[in-house]
Structure 1
Amino acid sequence: MAGAVPVDVVVGLLGAASAHRPERADEVRELLAGTELPAEDVARISAEVRRLKAGAERWRRRGQELAALFSSARELAELRDVDELLSRLVERAHDLVGTDVTYLSEFDVHSRELRVRTTLGTVAPTFLGLRVPPGMGLASMVVEGRRPCWTSSYDAMTQAPHESGIDAAVHAEGLVSLLGVPLLAGDEVIGVLFAANRFEHAFSPEEISLLSAFADHAAVVLQTARLLARTQASAEETRRAYGELARHVEAMERASGVHSDLTSLVLQGGDAGEVATALGRALRCRVSILDESAAAKDEAVRQSRRSGRCVAAGSGAVAVAVVAGSTLLGALRLEAGELEFGPVERRTAERAAQITALLRLKQDALAEAEQRVRGDLLADLVSGDPDRVADIASRARARGIRIDELRSVVVLAVPADQQRQAARAARRAAALVGEHADRIVALTAIDDPGAAGRAVHAVVREALGSPVIAVAATVHELPAGLSAEVDAAGACARILPSLGVSDTAVTTDEYLPYAALFGSGNARVSAFVRRVVGPVLDWDAEHAGTLVPTLAAYLDHRMSPIAAARALHVHKNTVLQRLERVTELLGPDWQETDRLFRLTVAVRLAHLTIGT
């Protein structure tokens, strides 16, 4: 038993082999010093103890790594935000492997590119976000092979093609040795996890295995987080869609209710105000009605008229034109309220505008029918025909008009294309309105004809926005005595533009001489002018047409040849020569008092009626 070893020595050797402390070089020899073993056996036992100690240390380190790996996996599994998860994943990999730089490149299945998404330990600002084209660099090898790839010297690497942009980023960061492992979710590569050093380093199988195991855990967690994020996004989108659907259904129900209310209004003979009330109640907003003049000045209404749709009108409001064919009847303006004006609400407002147009047309048709009846009444009054006015008082009372209360008549001179609008406006200030001899005639209960003319002129002028001539006269005897007043007022309205008057309200009494002359028409006036100054008119028609203007200037300037010459911008002798010609045509007594008066009137009338 010369080779026997005491139990205490064996226990000491086993302790030395398993101790978690640095090995002393002579520890085994000291334990075997009293055993009398040969030197070669002592050497063999020392080598074996060292081997066992290295193996135990390796397993101990492996256990620690696995514990850290599982701990990191559990921590990562608790994260739900993808960006935070990527940052934490790189941090844990960095702690596990202990390299200078750790980063993760995300793989895009569509472009087949890799993009550096998260880094730790980098110093170059250009490294984050670096894109790796397909087939280039160490990362593409990892993706294509779905396995770990590494190099101890990047510059000397030949197994993967280099790319200038990648090389520049690697050199800027100072990286030398790199290890990349795939993040796999089934057969799909979702990224590459890199560990890199700024010095040459041959990665051991244990380092490669550790990083690969961590990448496998991380890929599962990352894929799960992505799926959860997509699920949450889908759920949120579903909630939004459901909310939108609920709002749409609610809007459709409101629209259906409004359409029902508007249909009832049409059947029951409602008006535009009731339409606005029903629309405002349904859409929970304030609705106002613009008349034709206000609507025509509104830019939003003009756009709506062209498009036929609701148009934004500022401050959250919308406007929609009320039209019938090409005729603008007004507009609806909806102020911002409790509800947003979505497509359904806008379409509802457009339908309301159509209903308003329909009601307006219906009301206009009734008003036109009523106006035709009233126009017939007015025509009968103007005619003075006993048969036509026999029962006119009772017919007028049926329309709410008392003939015996009408005191003034107003004749309006407006362009033909504005007569309808002028008549509609005049009804606001008169009891009976109609058309007669291309004029608008209005009868009022105002005693003072001047006040009556001004009242009718004001409303018509505002409605047309253009000059209006209104001539008023007192009504003396109704129903028999209206013809003369209308003729006199019409004659006065006809002559006022020749006198330079285009926008006024006057009475026939103010222009009585002209009304008297023109009351019976132009035939007698023309005959009078021909009898008095016919030879002069004939001369002007055959020659230069200067005698009548010369006569007018001579008479207007108190029969002064010098003043007349100054007004005509000619020499005095020219005026005298022309007057001599007048004497030859009219006779030497044309300047006698009575004949001169008639001549003065005739020359004035020639200017006003004939235009010479």
Structure 2
Amino acid sequence: MKERSDRAAERLRDWLKALAGVGSAVNRGISQHDLLSMVAQTACELMHYDFCSVTVPDAASTVLVIEGSHGLTADYIRNVNATHPIRLQRTSLPSPSSQAFTLGIPIQVENAETNPSFGPWAAAAHDQGFTSMIAIPLNAPSGTLGTLNCFTRFSHHFDKDEVSLLTVLADQVALAMNTARLHADQGRIIAELKSLNENLEDQYGLQRKVAEVHHRFTSLALQGGDIADVGAALAELLHRSVVVRSVHGTVACKSGIDTSGLLEALEGTAMYQSQGDSGHEFTDNRLAEVQIPLRDGSSAPAVRAPVVVREEVAAWIWTTGNVTDLTPLDRRAIEHAATVMALELLSSRNAAEAAWHRSGEVLAGLLNSQGPLSSSLLAQAESLGHDLSQPHAMIVAQHDWMRTHGIQNKLSDAVARLPGESRPQPVVGVYQDHVVALWPLGSEALESARQAAEAIRRALTDGEPNAASSLAVLAGPVSDPTSYPETFSIARGAAELARLRGLSGQTLLVSDLGMTGLFLQIPDTVRLHSYCEEILGALRRHDSSRGTELVQTLSVLVRNNLDARTTAAQLSTHTSTILEQRRLIEEILGCELTNVAAMTRISTALQLDEVLAATRA
């Protein structure tokens, strides 16, 4: 009796030790596979079974898979898990394991070879070498978690005591699995909270650094710094070269170790213009990576960011390298720099617009004056940086007024790019549908202002050098401020005369028009008209009464050195017609066109006629 009691006590100790081992394993945080394999081994050792396995449903809860085992071969496990899975749904004859899982009660099979429910696994059972098996559900408050399957080599009936003990073990396994899952969930939540906290700390640190960057930029602006100062601070933060260019190509900042290479690459491409036309709305403030061409034919990555003023791109921030190499702080620094630069540009624009209007008032006062200039006009000019006491060249440019958008900014940028920082400010404005600039010459010749005239002409044509309206005239120099109205009249007449001659896409000096340019400077047009009438009057009256165009034919003939064939081609008529018209012209004028003296008078009259036509226009 005592021996029996000792065996019972020893078995109870073994069970308690085994259950404690399961609990300890859960507390150690071992994986579910290792935990269930330990349970399978424990069941075999406590109950003296040959094989054990623990099955759990897959992620879709459609089949049971062996998650832990003891004694079973890899081939048997592969057969159950892959070849003949234990289905939980859509099966006409459920397996013992699926029945135990679904019904929540133990299901046993005394002979696996003859039991129909074990049919798909009979061959595998034979190869594994077991005959009997029992499936115990792992019941938990939340539902069945799986099954504990025990196998014996020989036929065996699992009696009530065995089932009770296995049920106790299964309940402990279910409790252990639940606890392990809770531990896993708790660990995952803790990891997520830790990661979230780290992210919040990183975000706070980033926001603090961003605030410091913004404070640095705004402090620079408030202390009188300009775009170049903000760009230099940005280059220092990025450890990269930084170039800031207006959409018209004016360099507002170049800071960093090697800005020359970046500037050279940007000069070699129209990218900054085509991607930054200030005439279009722009709402995308994201950084972009672009490839810029290098001198050797290769390309290099560069990052650009827009500086947006009033929903339009006013400038681009360029820096070297890739976008992906920028840290979050770098990106925010560029964005804040762009914002501060936009405020600076807006302030500069407002000041420039006010100066533009005041400069326009000075220009109108000069060109409308009919005597000595008033002291108030001189004082206003001086306050804007104009020195009217020195000689000026007058630049008169025709402009396509369908392209009026941003004309003041285009002209300001064009003037700012020209060399000569120490010179007085030019007077630039619009007068009688022409852009007019009074360019200070100092001691230089009139020709020195051609570069400025050409820059203004190009600025007005949006980079299209052959635009039909692309023409500028350079007149002067003007030393007496009271002569500006007369000089404007001459320059405007020269521009109209050039248009009538079909000239465009260039900058002309009045002297480039030859003798016609001199005629433009004769104020007494009545005498010029009388001379033209004396020479060409008879021909003009013939045209009027007969509906002919002999004056035009004569003009083209003179221009072509009396070549009838060339003249005929230009007037789209036959050579014989031109020869007949020439004979008629000579008869009406009473002279031969081959006569040098007569030809000189006629040529002069035709040029004067052009001048008068331009003046009338």
Shift of 1:424: 0.8
Q: Kindly tell me: are residues 509 and 122 of structure 1, through their superposed partners in 2, closer, same or farther at Cα, counting changes over 3 Å?
A: same
Partner of 1:77: 26
Partner of 2:427: 433
Does structure 1 retain, via aligned residues, the 8 Å contact 2:397–2:436? yes
Shift of 1:299: 5.2
* Mapping of residues 528-567 of structure 1, within 5 Å: 547=550, 550-565=553-568
TM-score calculated relative to the size of structure 1: 0.70
Task: State the alpha-carbon separation in 1 of the partners of residues 10 and 547 from structure 2.
Answer: 130
Shift of 1:323: 3.0
**1:421 corresponds to 2:409:** yes
**1:307 corresponds to 2:295:** no
Q: Kindly tell me: are residues 555 and 258 of structure 1, through their superposed partners in 2, closer, same or farther at Cα, counting changes over 3 Å?
A: same
Does structure 2 retain, via aligned residues, the 8 Å contact 1:410–1:442? yes
Partner of 2:473: 471
* Aligned partner of residue 437 in structure 2, secondary structure: strand
* Mapping of residues 100-179 of structure 1, within 5 Å: 102-106=53-57, 113-116=62-65, 118=67, 120=69, 121-123=73-75, 125=78, 127-128=80-81, 130=85, 132-134=87-89, 137=94, 138-152=96-110, 178-179=133-134
Q: Which amino acid aligns with 1:420?
A: Q
**1:321 corresponds to 2:306:** yes
Partner of 1:513: 515
Partner of 2:505: 503
Shift of 1:308: 4.9
Shift of 1:86: 4.8
Task: State the alpha-carbon separation in 2 of the partners of residues 131 and 299 from structure 1.
Answer: 64
Does structure 2 retain, via aligned residues, the 8 Å contact 1:93–1:211? no
Match of 1:457 among 454, 458, 462: 454
Shift of 1:558: 2.9
Match of 1:238 among 185, 190, 193: 193
* Mapping of residues 162-561 of structure 1, within 5 Å: 178-186=133-141, 188-195=143-150, 201-205=155-159, 208=163, 211-254=166-209, 256=211, 271-274=226-229, 289-293=244-248, 297=273, 306-313=282-289, 320-332=305-317, 340-341=327-328, 353-383=338-368, 385-389=370-374, 396-416=381-401, 417=404, 419-428=407-416, 429=418, 431-435=425-429, 436-437=431-432, 438-445=434-441, 447-458=444-455, 461=458, 464-467=462-465, 469-499=471-501, 501-519=503-521, 547=550, 550-561=553-564
Q: Which amino acid aligns with 1:232?
A: G
* Aligned partner of residue 482 in structure 2, secondary structure: coil
Task: State the alpha-carbon separation in 1 of the partners of residues 366 and 110 from structure 2.
Answer: 118
Q: Kindly tell me: are residues 454 and 406 of structure 1, through their superposed partners in 2, closer, same or farther at Cα, counting changes over 3 Å?
A: same
Q: Kindly tell me: are residues 348 and 267 of structure 1, through their superposed partners in 2, closer, same or farther at Cα, counting changes over 3 Å?
A: same
Does structure 2 retain, via aligned residues, the 8 Å contact 1:254–1:282? no
* Aligned partner of residue 481 in structure 1, secondary structure: helix
Deviations 1:175-203 (Å, cap 9, x if unpaired)? 87543222234453222233457x88445
Shift of 1:363: 2.0
* Aligned partner of residue 307 in structure 1, secondary structure: coil
Q: Which amino acid aligns with 2:108?
A: W
Does structure 2 retain, via aligned residues, the 8 Å contact 1:310–1:346? no
* Aligned partner of residue 386 in structure 1, secondary structure: coil
**1:572 corresponds to 2:575:** yes
Q: Kindly tell me: are residues 154 and 566 of structure 1, through their superposed partners in 2, closer, same or farther at Cα, counting changes over 3 Å?
A: same
Shift of 1:233: 1.0
Deviations 1:420-455 (Å, cap 9, x if unpaired)? 234313533473122233122131235022222124
Task: State the alpha-carbon separation in 2 of the partners of residues 529 and 152 from structure 1.
Answer: 134
Task: State the alpha-carbon separation in 2 of the partners of residues 221 and 75 from structure 1.
Answer: 10
Shift of 1:565: 4.3
Deviations 1:83-115 (Å, cap 9, x if unpaired)? 44356347626854654673522366xx65444
Q: Kindly tell me: are residues 392 and 594 of structure 1, through their superposed partners in 2, closer, same or farther at Cα, counting changes over 3 Å?
A: farther
Partner of 2:253: none
* Aligned partner of residue 75 in structure 2, secondary structure: coil
Q: Kindly tell me: are residues 307 and 399 of structure 1, through their superposed partners in 2, closer, same or farther at Cα, counting changes over 3 Å?
A: closer
* Aligned partner of residue 184 in structure 1, secondary structure: strand
Shift of 1:242: 1.3
Shift of 1:365: 1.9
Partner of 2:41: 92
* Structure 2 runs not aligned, ≥5 long: 250-270, 292-300
Does structure 2 retain, via aligned residues, the 8 Å contact 1:488–1:516? no
Return the index of the structure with the highest Cα Rg: 1
* Aligned partner of residue 427 in structure 1, secondary structure: helix
Q: Kindly tell me: are residues 190 and 535 of structure 1, through their superposed partners in 2, closer, same or farther at Cα, counting changes over 3 Å?
A: farther
* Aligned partner of residue 420 in structure 1, secondary structure: helix
Q: Kindly tell me: are residues 187 and 103 of structure 1, through their superposed partners in 2, closer, same or farther at Cα, counting changes over 3 Å?
A: closer
Shift of 1:494: 3.5
Does structure 2 retain, via aligned residues, the 8 Å contact 1:76–1:218? no
Task: State the alpha-carbon separation in 2 of the partners of residues 103 and 526 from structure 1.
Answer: 118
Same amino acid, percent of matched pairs: 18
Task: State the alpha-carbon separation in 2 of the partners of residues 369 and 177 from structure 1.
Answer: 101
Q: Kindly tell me: are residues 582 and 133 of structure 1, through their superposed partners in 2, closer, same or farther at Cα, counting changes over 3 Å?
A: farther
Deviations 1:263-315 (Å, cap 9, x if unpaired)? 6667666544455567778999887534223695475999x964354344479
Shift of 1:469: 3.7
Does structure 2 retain, via aligned residues, the 8 Å contact 1:411–1:471? yes
Task: State the alpha-carbon separation in 2 of the partners of residues 131 and 298 from structure 1.
Answer: 67
Does structure 2 retain, via aligned residues, the 8 Å contact 1:102–1:195? yes
* Aligned partner of residue 438 in structure 2, secondary structure: strand
Does structure 2 retain, via aligned residues, the 8 Å contact 1:82–1:226? no
Q: Kindly tell me: are residues 246 and 301 of structure 1, through their superposed partners in 2, closer, same or farther at Cα, counting changes over 3 Å?
A: farther
TM-score calculated relative to the size of structure 2: 0.69
Aligned residue-pair number: 547
Q: Kindly tell me: are residues 246 and 541 of structure 1, through their superposed partners in 2, closer, same or farther at Cα, counting changes over 3 Å?
A: farther
Shift of 1:139: 3.4
Q: Which amino acid aligns with 1:180?
A: A
Q: Which amino acid aligns with 2:354?
A: A
Task: State the alpha-carbon separation in 1 of the partners of residues 52 and 507 from structure 2.
Answer: 97
Task: State the alpha-carbon separation in 2 of the partners of residues 543 and 178 from structure 1.
Answer: 128
